């Protein structure tokens, strides 16, 4: 797989640090997800950085992925393992069509977006062998997860896409109201794990399914 790095990206200076591992990780994940394009472009920008891991990412479009990488992160071995997980996560989004620009995925409510995030999180957990912090939901009761699921299901896609509402930031990253992090990711991961348990469908096969189909499993 060929990677193109935008040389005008804000964090382009780390390109030489991440080029070789990213090429290896993308080649590896393309064996699992053959639908991925042969050529991908990488925008290096630390606006998606998760401080706890020193990495981050976002699926911008069908052939562009944003990657965040903290060059000063102390534990380089752990950071590269998380970078590999990030590649697997964002690559799954590309295949499922959950992208910022030109999304192909189906959306009705905020819960749909959370489910797609859950799919990618479970995929990186199962196939990249990492334990994403945002996918760890076992410390929450089923009642709490159901409450979060129902709350996101009640938020229309129009409300969700209204940038002024900052709903995604609250649900995906940190909610000051209850001091909880990653509620959308945790809930989505739980919904996906429940669907897998009921249907015996592997997360790899689930990439071909919409959020509606996953909820029906």
pLDDT confidence bin for 164, thresholds 50/70/90? confident
Q: Write the pLDDT tens digit of every residue in 22-38.
A: 999 999 999 999 999 99
Structure tokens at 4: 């193109």
Q: Write out pLDDT tens, residues 177-191.
A: 999 999 999 999 999
Contact 67, 57 (CB under 8 A): yes
Give percent above pLDDT 70 in the chain.
100
User: Mean pLDDT, the chain, as a whole number?
Assistant: 96
The angle at the Cα of 44, spanning 81 to 136, to the nearest 5 degrees, equals: 40
pTM more than 0.75: yes
Rounded to a whole number of angstroms, the distance between the first and last alpha carbons of the chain is 34
Say what percent of the chain tops pLDDT 90.
Answer: 94
Beta strands in the chain (DSSP E): 2-5, 39-44, 55-61, 64-69, 174-175, 180-181
Q: What is the pLDDT of residues 124-161, one digit of tens each?
A: 999 999 999 999 999 999 999 999 999 999 999 999 88
Residue pair 184/168 in contact (Cβ under 8 Å)? The answer is yes
């Amino acid at each position: 797989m060929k990677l193109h790095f935008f040389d005008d990206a804000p964090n382009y200076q780390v390109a030489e640090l991440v080029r070789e591992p990213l090429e290896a990780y993308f080649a590896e994940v393309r064996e699992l997800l053959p639908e991925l394009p042969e050529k991908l472009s990488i925008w290096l920008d630390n606006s998606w950085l998760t401080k706890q891991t020193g990495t981050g990412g976002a699926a911008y479009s069908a052939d562009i992925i944003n990657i965040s990488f903290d060059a000063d992160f102390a534990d380089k071995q752990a950071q590269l393992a998380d970078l590999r997980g990030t590649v697997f996560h964002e690559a799954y989004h590309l295949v499922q069509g959950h992208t910022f620009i030109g999304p192909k995925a189906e959306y009705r409510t905020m819960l749909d977006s959370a489910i797609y995030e859950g799919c990618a999180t479970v995929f990186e957990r199962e196939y990249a062998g990492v334990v994403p912090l945002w996918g760890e939901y076992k410390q929450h009761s089923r009642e709490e997860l159901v409450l979060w699921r129902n709350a996101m299901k009640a938020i229309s896609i129009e409300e969700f896409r209204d940038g002024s509402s900052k709903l995604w930031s609250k649900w995906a990253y940190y909610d000051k109201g209850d001091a909880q992090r990653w509620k959308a990711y945790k809930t989505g991961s739980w919904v996906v794990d429940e669907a897998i348990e009921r249907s015996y469908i592997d997360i790899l096969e689930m990439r071909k399914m919409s959020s509606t189909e996953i909820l029906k499993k």
